[in-house]
Amino acid sequence: MAAKKKAKEGGTGTFEEAMGKLEAMVEAMENDQLPLEELVAHYEKGAGLLRHCEKVLTAAKERIELIEVGNSAEKNLAPDPEAEEDSPGPGDSPAAELPEDDIRLL
């Protein structure tokens, strides 16, 4: 809710509102015979709306990436049944499989 309030105070509104304004401005610039000063003002305001939309999209992308990372981390917490079959049992000694010259850090 704070993001919507902040967006309203900045005059850009939500992403959808900003995109609607931007589309309307582009259409007006393409179809209407506007004086040069109005064209420049529309272009300037459109550039601001575009920056706002890019920021919102970047923030959404980052949130989605965090969700995906969290989901993949949760998936890795579950034991892998194939890995359990390949893992050495309690009587198996992993050191017995290693050559004597091999140095283990852990």
- Each residue of 24-52: pLDDT tens digit? 999 999 998 889 999 999 999 999 999 99
Q: Residue 102 above 70 pLDDT?
A: no
In a domain, 17, yes or no: yes
How many domains does the chain contain in total? 1
Is 9 part of a structural domain of the chain? yes
Residue 41 lies inside a defined structural domain of this protein:
yes
- Token look-up 């900003």 returns 18
Helix pair 15-31, 36-77: axis angle to 10 deg: 150
> pLDDT (tens digit, 9 = 90+) per residue, 46-101?
999 999 999 999 999 999 999 998 887 777 665 555 655 555 555 555 555 555 55
- Confidence band of 6 (pLDDT split at 50, 70, 90): very low
Compute CA 103 distance to the chain's CA centroid, rounded to the nearest angstrom.
42
Asked if residue 60 belongs to a domain, the reply is: yes
Q: Could you give the CA distance from residue 103 to residue 106 in angstroms, rounded to a whole number?
A: 9
The encoded tokens of residue 65 equal 């990436």
105, part of any domain: no
| 58 located within any domain | yes
Does residue 42 contact residue 25 with C-beta atoms inside 8 Å?
Answer: yes
Is residue 93 domain-resident? Answer: no
Does a structural domain hold residue 99?
no
Task: Tell me which residue range forms the domain holding 15.
Answer: 2-78
